[in-house]
Chains A and B, each alone.
Chain A
């Protein structure tokens, strides 16, 4: 319908963005009726996301013409931004940004480096940056989920954790069940994406490859490659972040820092 009204590409794009945003606003209003307040966070996230992607899209043409080594700086900047974003999901947890940034660097960064070295990801900036950003974005989401779940599990099991401490357990041992639970929970989206590949969803990258003339079978296999890399990067990120954060919620005298109301 929008195509009948808007004939130039920019106008159509803005109208499409407006329609999609309207759907999101309806969901926020529904949530509000149930006293779940997502208004400011959602509006800020949508406006910010739109501005960011338009800004990046505008300069992407210039960046993609740059030398290959610039992709390293672009990906490093993405990791820092991803660390800052997912650290917000770990409110009150000590050194959440540092833990998030290092975990995403270890998880997504190492998989990107390894796969580029193996030739799975092409070193061309037009390939490395988009594929790398997918890995970093998914690692960021997984890290946010892991830290958020860990935080809420600890806050609702302070009694159990301190009982274990009182029985002579090390801090890391006392939170072990919650480390495992948060690691498993954080990987649910990545596992489900892999499991439903081709049945529930066909990623945009495959459509792009087909449009650019790749053979359909290769495009399909590469989708699996991308999702397997996402799973590896996300899993490694969650693994590192849960290990790093579990030590930071205790003092040197093994007292639990994360307490309700503190």
Chain B
């Protein structure tokens, strides 16, 4: 199914994207686009292919059919490391590396030979509401704090599109609300584009402008969030 085109330039376009592993269809014939500055929610029941789709967008898995165009370029023509830097990913669990908060934030830029200054680290932490946390050991962070560090670590790579895979599903209600506000603020103030995978329909309704509804690896509904949720 194809998401209807509306105004606004597309930053990313998936065309007939699919992945089949050992005869099992994880995703089939997904065609849609993501527009600059929007939050696109991908919703659907467990096992419907939401996370598989996000992994394909970041090329952590290889499509068995179709491809993705990033700003008009087939993403197979882009060096995977550069592609992943541009499409920052935040996962359900933070997966912080052992060490300090600052060392986690410096990880991404260090892969390109860049050193993130102390000031830049502080600015990033301020953005995610963790000012003064730079020297803290990640082992001592709460779940909500760890997820905020994970977001800051992704932002340290200066991505222009964020892929969020159930970023609040492992958090309590208070932390969940905090991370939701954080996502809204980041998208609004940095003009970032966002693809949000969530099983939480209410969250999708609060955050996203448009949505794709997946079922058994296929997009069965697509369009403005209200239309998709009320169909």
Tell yes or no: A39 within 8 A of B by CB: no
Docked pose: A163 CA to B90 CA in angstroms: 8
Looking across the interface, which residue of chain B has its beta carbon closest to that of A167? B108
B95 touches A251 (CB 8 A): no
Per-residue contact bits, chain A 168-192, to B (CB 8 Å; 1 contact, 0 not): 1110010000000000000000000
- A163-B95 CB under 8 A given contacts A168-B108, A170-B111, A255-B60: yes
Tell yes or no: B91 within 8 A of A by CB: yes
List which B19-72 residues lie within 8 A (CB) of chain A. 21, 58-62
Tell yes or no: B181 within 8 A of A by CB: no
Q: Please give the number of chain B residues whose Cβ is less than 8 angstroms from any Cβ of chain A in the complex.
A: 25
Tell yes or no: B85 within 8 A of A by CB: yes
Instruction: Tell me which residues across on chain A come within 8 A of B111, comparing CB atoms.
Output: 167-170, 173
Q: Please pick, from B62, B82, B93, B107, the residue contacting A167 in the complex, using a CB distance under 8 A.
A: B107
Which residue, A159, A163, A169, has most C-beta atoms of chain B within 10 A? A163
A254 touches B81 (CB 8 A): yes
Docked pose: A201 CA to B111 CA in angstroms: 47
- A166-B81 CB under 8 A given contacts A160-B95, A173-B111: no
Q: Please pick, from B62, B85, B153, the residue contacting A253 in the complex, using a CB distance under 8 A.
A: B62
Q: Please pick, from A160, A162, A170, A251, the residue contacting B97 in the complex, using a CB distance under 8 A.
A: A160
Tell yes or no: A197 within 8 A of B by CB: no
Instruction: Tell me which residues across on chain A come within 8 A of B91, comparing CB atoms.
Output: 159, 163, 166
Q: How far is the CB of A165 from chain B (nearest CB, A)?
A: 6
Q: Please pick, from A160, A165, A168, A173, the residue contacting B60 in the complex, using a CB distance under 8 A.
A: A165
Tell yes or no: B80 within 8 A of A by CB: yes
Tell yes or no: B89 within 8 A of A by CB: yes
Docked pose: A251 CA to B59 CA in angstroms: 11
User: Could you give 29 example pairs across A and B, Cβ below 8 Å?
Assistant: A159-B91, A159-B93, A159-B95, A160-B97, A162-B60, A163-B89, A163-B91, A165-B60, A166-B84, A166-B91, A166-B154, A167-B84, A167-B85, A167-B107, A167-B157, A168-B81, A168-B82, A168-B108, A168-B111, A168-B112, A168-B157, A169-B111, A170-B81, A173-B111, A251-B62, A254-B80, A254-B81, A255-B60, A255-B61
